[in-house]
Structure 1
Amino acid sequence: MPEEMIDILNSDGTPAGYSRGRNEVHAKGLWHRTVHIWAFDTKGRILFQLRSHLKENNPNLLDTSCAGHISAGDESRNAAIRELREEMGVKKRIEDLEYLFEATHENVLNDGTYFDNEYYDTYKITLNDEESEHLVPQPGEVDDFVWMTREEFLEKHAKNPEKFVDHPKDYGWIQSIQHT
């Protein structure tokens, strides 16, 4: 399988006009675009994925419901729909996505050998009861899914932040959600 190609950005988020393979992107810390999708069920609970124990970065940590790179030439919403299908086994339409915000993330991982410099679009999606009960974790990407209320997340994250992938803007948004 060929390596995923990713469009490169300048540090200000503007397109740099070229693409590179995923490995080079992270070896050199090239800026690129990704998507984060937060899934909620009909009761208002938030879905977290437990990253696969096989992942190069952040294995066995709780993370965004679903996330991924935007492939070269693709668009954010299309990438979000693709990631939902691949990582969760959920088929949704672009119209089902609620755009929330754009954020940046700079991180150095794996003893300084992996650089993650990204602009990411964040979406919210609501899963119906059938979808919520029949999630299919993508082997090698996701080991499990965990549902939490907003309050459960805030309590667990406050007590054990090391069990979560660090997403300050996302978690700030979750904190701001009004209790229902």
Structure 2
Amino acid sequence: MAEEMIDILNSDGTPAGYARGRTEVHAKGLWHRTVHIWAFDTHGRIVFQLRSHLKENNPNLLDTSCAGHITAGDDSRNAAIRELREEMGVEKRLDDLEYLFEATHENVLNNGTYFDNEYYDTFKIILSDEEAAHLVPQPGEVDDFVWMTPAEFLENYAKNPEKFVDHPKDYAWIRSILNTQK
């Protein structure tokens, strides 16, 4: 199977005008775009994915409900719909996505051999009770799903941050949900 090609960005987030394979993107720390999708059930709980123990980076850590790279020539909304289908087995429409914000992330992993420099668009979706009850983890990507209320997440994250992939802007947004509920 051919390696996924990803559009490269300049450090300011503007398109650089070329694409590279995923391996090169992370070996050289090239800036690129990804998506994060936060899935909630009808009761306000958030589903976190337990990253596969086979993943190259951040194995066995709790992460956003769903996330992924944006394939060259695609956009974040289409990528979000694709990732929901692949990682969770959920079929959604473009208008089911609520756009939240764009953020940047710079990280060096795996003893300095994996560079993750990304701009990511963040979305929220609501899962029906049927969808929430029948999530299908993608083998090699997701080992399981864990449900938490925003308050439970913040409590667990405060006690054990090492069990989560760190996404400060995303977590600030979750914190803001609680603040608006008070």
TM-score when normalising by structure 2:
0.98
Task: State the partner residue of 1:102.
Answer: 102
Task: State the partner residue of 1:123.
Answer: 123
Q: Deviations over 1:126-166 (max 9, x none)?
A: 00000000000000000000000011001000000000001
1:1-180 equivalent positions in 2, closer than 5 A: 1-177=1-177, 178-179=180-181
Question: What number of residue pairs does the alignment pair up?
Answer: 180
Amino acid at match of 1:174: I
Amino acid at match of 1:156: N
- Cα distance in structure 2, aligned partners of 1:48 and 1:132: 12
- Cα distance in structure 1, aligned partners of 2:18 and 2:154: 40
Runs of 4+ in 1 over 3 A off after TM superposition: none
**2:117 counterpart SS class:** strand
The sequence identity of aligned pairs, in percent, is: 86
Shift in Å at residue 23 of structure 1?
Answer: 0.1
**1:169 counterpart SS class:** helix
Q: Deviations over 1:57-84 (max 9, x none)?
A: 0000000000000000001100000000
- Cα distance in structure 2, aligned partners of 1:34 and 1:99: 14
Shift in Å at residue 53 of structure 1?
Answer: 0.2
Please, which runs of 5 or more residues in structure 1 have no aligned partner? none
Please, which runs of 5 or more residues in structure 2 have no aligned partner? none
- Cα distance in structure 2, aligned partners of 1:154 and 1:36: 18
Shift in Å at residue 179 of structure 1?
Answer: 3.0
Amino acid at match of 2:181: H
